[in-house]
Amino acid sequence: MHQMTTTFVRRLRERDEAAWFELWRAFGPVLRAQLTKWGNGRLGQETVRDLSQETLAALSKSIDRFDPSCGVRFSTWLLAIARHSLSDEIDRRMALKRGAGKRPSHLEEAWMGGLGDGVDAAYEQRIFEAKVAAAIRHAESDADFLSFEIYRMRVFDGRSGKEVAAQMGVSQPTISRNLQQARGHLRTRLREIITTWSFTTEEIAELELAGLDQDDSLFDEALSEIWHRAITVDDTW
């Protein structure tokens, strides 16, 4: 496991609020989307938000027991905690409904449609997209505002170099230089974030599988596709 990963886990264990905030900012939308999916339309927006916060609180209590070296994905562990939070919520509702303390969770597993005993591919895909989105946010902070805006217009919005140059009032070579600068920041940050939040070799390999280690044009294409998927997570709930 990479040293950055262990450092991040150590920061979480030391209750570094900045680290927790980053974690929440990156994976909060994914958690909410997953909880909404499990709820199958029975969980309101506020409940989903509360449950995602409960999941994070439970995670903070049990982070000391997490062993990064055993080869389990952090995201899988996070999902298990979210599932227990949801299960507790369902039990509480059932108990209230029936007026007794009976725990009927085994009857209500049907609520968690699509989960089964394992983790669905869509969830893992969202986790990866969340990491990419976090890397883009960091790269945006690192890069010059103009450079990143040019990259955004050129790559994410799919505008031509000539059109971007006309809007920005600069030449096309300048556009190319700014693109290169922003792309450099993005590549650096992507490697850093993916490494930090990856606990298995499969997770690290996702970068390559997604085409984010290719040449510039393929990198831009792959990043744009992932970015568009990542920012629609909240639209699903």
Partner 1 sequence: MVITSWLVIGLIVILAAAIVSAALGVVFWQIVTPLIRSCIRVIQWIGTLCLEIVRDLLVAAWNIVVAIALTPAIVGSLLLGRWEAAGSMTRQIGRRFRRTGRRVAGLLTKPADEEVVQAHRTSVSRKSSDQFPGWHVVGALPSGGSGASLHIAEPTSDAPPNSPDRVVIKCFDLTMGSPLSQMIRESRALGGAKRLGLVIDHDLDETRFWYVMRFIPGVHLADAVEGMHAGDVALSGEMLATTLSWARDVTATLHQYHEAGFWHKDVKPENIITNDTGAHLVDLGLVTPLQSAMTLTTHGTEYFRDPELVRQALRGAKVSEVDGAKFDLYSTGAVLYFMVEGTFPAHGNLSRFDRETGDAVRWVIRRAMADYQQRYASASELLADLTFVASAKDPRAVRPADLPSFTHVTPDMHAPPPPTSAMGASVKRPRIEVTDWWTGAYRVLDAVPGMKQKLPNAFSNAIKLRDERRAQRESAREARRARRRASNGGFFAFLVGLLILTTSGYFFFEAISYYASAVNPMAIEVSHDVLPGGEGRALVVNDHPRRVDSMSRVEGQLKQGGWECTSDASLEATFRGHIPFNGTESADFPERARGVMREHALAAAAVISAPSDDPNGVEVVFVTPETMRTYRLQGLAAESLDVQSSP
Q: Per rule CB under 8 A, is residue 116 in the interface with partner 1?
A: no
Q: Which of 147, 195, 196, 198 binds partner 1 (CB under 8 A)?
A: 147
Minimum CB–partner distance for residue 47 and partner 1 (Å): 16
Q: Which of residues 70-99 bind partner 1 (CB under 8 A)?
A: 97, 99
Q: Which residues, other chains included, contact 222 with Cβ-Cβ below 8 Å and sequence gap of 6+?
A: 210, 211, 212, 214
Minimum CB–partner distance for residue 168 and partner 1 (Å): 5
Rounded to whole angstroms, the Cα distance separating 145 from 11 reads 30
Rounded to whole angstroms, the Cα distance separating 77 from 35 reads 15
Residues in binding contact with partner 1, number by CB under 8 A? 35
Helix (H/G/I), strand (E/B), else coil: 71? coil
Nearest one of 16, 83, 44, 27 to 230, comparing CA atoms: 27
Q: Per rule CB under 8 A, is residue 102 in the interface with partner 1?
A: no
Q: Which of residues 9-38 bind partner 1 (CB under 8 A)?
A: 17-18, 21, 25, 29
Nearest one of 158, 130, 146 to 185, comparing CA atoms: 146
Q: Which of 34, 55, 75, 181 binds partner 1 (CB under 8 A)?
A: 181
Q: Per rule CB under 8 A, is residue 57 in the interface with partner 1?
A: no
Q: Per rule CB under 8 A, is residue 178 in the interface with partner 1?
A: yes
Alpha helix stretches (DSSP H) within 16-160: 17-39, 45-62, 74-98, 121-142, 145-151
Give the amino acid at 167: Q
What residues make contact with partner 1 under the rule CB under 8 A?
Answer: 17-18, 21, 25, 29, 97, 99, 133, 136-137, 140-141, 144-145, 147, 149, 152-153, 166-170, 174, 177-178, 180-181, 227-228, 230-232, 234-235
